[in-house]
Chain A
């Protein structure tokens, strides 16, 4: 029991910030992102014995984060309301326009981008986490970044 607590401490120290920010990137709501982070680590705690190694834990952790965040949006009709009523300052994840721009991306395209930019995963790791092939990761992530880039260009050109 004590040994396991120590291990969950280590994993938390290493991954919680990334887990939280990926959930935040998908949900754009701090309280919801914290709930997801909480649930993910509880679930991890109870299945710690079943992992063979560090990379197993990593895959499980981020796959669960993404799935739980997406499920949350799907199952929670109040979710969108929460984003709007919280107010920009309270709710802000990305500074200025980038936050609003990210909101415009499809979750499908945004998730690989968040995994790469926030957690620093390679395309191969992302493919494993999302259980899709590497070519799909490549095309989705490029679609996401191109959309962001074009929006930023539009704005910089004074519309």
Chain B
């Protein structure tokens, strides 16, 4: 009965995962001193643990260089990721400007009233004789 209990908790015991507050740890320790069967069980577990660690291998020495190369060739991507906010802002700004320009062109073509529109807002005229008008505005002031 004790053996079953000890064997069930043995791996957690070896991993130091038995609660310190309970008596389980002490109980297992004491039992292992006197029970050959459980001692044998523990030896098997210890050997599995050490074999798992012994089986560890190293990745090829070139791997770090390969990783660094990838991060360098992708540095523009990194730049984008790092400056996401600023770039979004720039992109939005450019889109708005392009949008206004496109809008103006269409507006101008269809209704020829963008000049009036701009005139209303900025008090200037952008017809072909723009410089003259500009001068006249200045003169009027």
Contact B48 A149 (CB under 8 A): yes
What is the bound-complex CA distance between A142 and B13, given in angstroms?
11
Which residues of A lie under 8 Å from residue B81 when comparing CB positions?
A: 46
Contact B44 A153 (CB under 8 A): yes
B140 touches A (CB below 8 Å): no
User: Nearest Cβ in chain B — how far from A119, in angstroms?
Assistant: 10
Residues of B64-79 whose CB lies within 8 A of A: 64, 66-68, 70-71, 74-75, 77-78
Size bracket, chain B contacts: 20 to 34
Which residues of A lie under 8 Å from residue B22 when comparing CB positions?
A: none
Contact with A along B42-71 (1 / 0, CB 8 A): 001100110111111111100110111011
Say yes or no: A118-B51 contact (C-beta < 8 A), given A17-B58, A17-B59, A20-B58. Answer: no
Stretch of A51-59, A75-83, A93-101 on the interface side: A93-101
Which residues of B lie under 8 Å from residue A70 when comparing CB positions?
A: none
What is the bound-complex CA distance between A122 and B14, given in angstroms?
12
What is the bound-complex CA distance between A153 and B78, given in angstroms?
53
Say yes or no: A94-B52 contact (C-beta < 8 A), given A46-B78, A46-B81. Answer: yes
What is the bound-complex CA distance between A105 and B77, given in angstroms?
40
B34 touches A (CB below 8 Å): no
Contact A21 B56 (CB under 8 A): yes
A132 touches B (CB below 8 Å): no
Say yes or no: A123-B48 contact (C-beta < 8 A), given A34-B59, A37-B59, A93-B55. Answer: no
Contact B59 A123 (CB under 8 A): no
B17 touches A (CB below 8 Å): yes
B82 touches A (CB below 8 Å): yes
Which residues of B lie under 8 Å from residue A148 when comparing CB positions?
A: 48
Contact B55 A95 (CB under 8 A): yes
Which residues of A lie under 8 Å from residue B45 when comparing CB positions?
A: 145, 149
What is the bound-complex CA distance between A152 and B40, given in angstroms?
13
Which residues of A lie under 8 Å from residue B111 when comparing CB positions?
A: none
Say yes or no: A123-B17 contact (C-beta < 8 A), given A8-B71, A94-B51. Answer: yes
Contact B67 A42 (CB under 8 A): yes
B15 touches A (CB below 8 Å): yes
**Which are the 6 A-B pairs with shortest beta-carbon distances?**
A117-B52, A20-B59, A94-B55, A21-B56, A145-B11, A41-B67
